[in-house]
Every structure is written in structure tokens, then in C-alpha cells.
Structure 1
Amino acid sequence: MIIKRIDVLSAAKIFGITAAAFGLLAGILVFLFGGVLGSLFGDAGGVGFVGGFMAIITMPIMYGIFGFIGGAIQAFIYNLAAGFIGGVRIETE
């Protein structure tokens, strides 16, 4: 079995969703380490907490957008390369 072409939009959606999931994980880590620990070490007014909370919202969105764009570019370049080389060979049972 040889993968000769990848649908660009389909690959972009998968990359975007996967990247958004990683962005959520990164946002939670920023919230925990930046927000909570920042408030423990003398953050006046809870700025670190609010910034950490905003990271949970903004990081998945930004990761998702850039993951979508990156996935589309990678699928497009794969399709160009597969046209010259012939695609990736996959062996199944």
C-alpha cells in the first residue's frame, strides 16, 4: 500500500485539533506554574493567576490555528514530494 496523496484540509483539521489539545495541556501547565506559584511568591493583585487563567483560554486557540496552518503546509509539501518520489510505502497484514 502506498500513500500517494493526502487531503490537505483533512490533514490540517487533524493537526489543528491535535495541536489544540497540546495547547490546552500547555495552558494548564502555565496556569499551575505561572499563576499559582506566582501568587505564592508575592504576586500583588493576582496578575499571575489571571495571566495563567488566560493561558488556558488563549494557548489552545493559538496552538490550534498554527497547527491547522502547519498541517496544511505539511500535507501540501508531502503531495508535491510524493508526486516526484511516489509516496510512502506502508506494509499491512
Structure 2
Amino acid sequence: MIRVKKFGVLQTAKVVAIIYVLVSLIIIMPFALLGSMLTEEFFPEFADFGAAALLVIPIMYGIIGFIFTAIGCVVYNLIASFTGGIEIEMETATK
């Protein structure tokens, strides 16, 4: 049995933030491009929103993911100090 006693707050938050940015880029890109094409035709004054969304939304998503992951790690570390942490049973794979 392996026990997770503590998470490294900054390292875990950095990794999760980068994952959030990459995933949000994959998700937002088709919507931003479609929105840009539609607004050019119907609302030309908002035509640049699609390009701005490709930059702003993933960055904001990463920042928010970093903050909430850091808070979650601190809360877990606090609770794990009283309870001992999460136990995980693992085995080595045989070929």
C-alpha cells in the first residue's frame, strides 16, 4: 500500500495549468474560428473576437486552473496531515 501524504503545491499547480491551457486550446479553437467567420459576415465590429479568444481564454483558463489547483493541494495537504492521506494499492507489472 502506498500513501499520498503530500502534494507539491507549486509543481502540481504548474502541471495542471499547462494541461488546462492545452486542453482549452483544443476546445476553443474550432469555436473561435467559427465565431470569427460568422461575426465577419453578420457583426463585422466583433470580427476580431475569435482571434482574441484564441489567446485570452486559454491563458485565463490556465491561470484559474493554477490558482484552484494550488488551493486544492493546500487543502489536501492540511487534511492529509490529520488523516494520513489517500492510500493506493499498486503492483508491478509482469511481462
TM class by shorter chain equals 0.7 to 0.9
Q: CA deviation at 1:54?
A: 0.5
Structure 2 residue 14 is matched with structure 1 residue 13: yes
The letter of the residue matching 1:77 is V
Q: Which 5+ residue runs of structure 1 have no aligned equivalent? A: none
Q: Normalising by structure 2, report the TM-score.
A: 0.82
CA contact (8 A) 1:27 1:52 kept: no
* Equivalent in the alignment of 1:35: 36
Q: Normalising by structure 1, report the TM-score.
A: 0.84
Identify, as 1 or 2, the structure richer in helix. 1
* Superposition misfits of 4+ residues, deviation over 3 angstroms: none
Separation in structure 2 between the aligned mates of residue 73 and residue 26 of structure 1, nearest angstrom: 25
Q: Which 5+ residue runs of structure 2 have no aligned equivalent? A: none
* Equivalent in the alignment of 2:49: 51
> SS state of the match for residue 89, structure 1?
strand
Separation in structure 2 between the aligned mates of residue 26 and residue 38 of structure 1, nearest angstrom: 19
Q: Work out the number of aligned pairs and report it.
A: 90
Q: CA deviation at 1:15?
A: 1.4
* Equivalent in the alignment of 2:90: 92
Separation in structure 1 between the aligned mates of residue 85 and residue 44 of structure 2, nearest angstrom: 57
| CA RMSD, 1 decimal | 1.6
* Equivalent in the alignment of 1:62: 60
The letter of the residue matching 2:85 is G
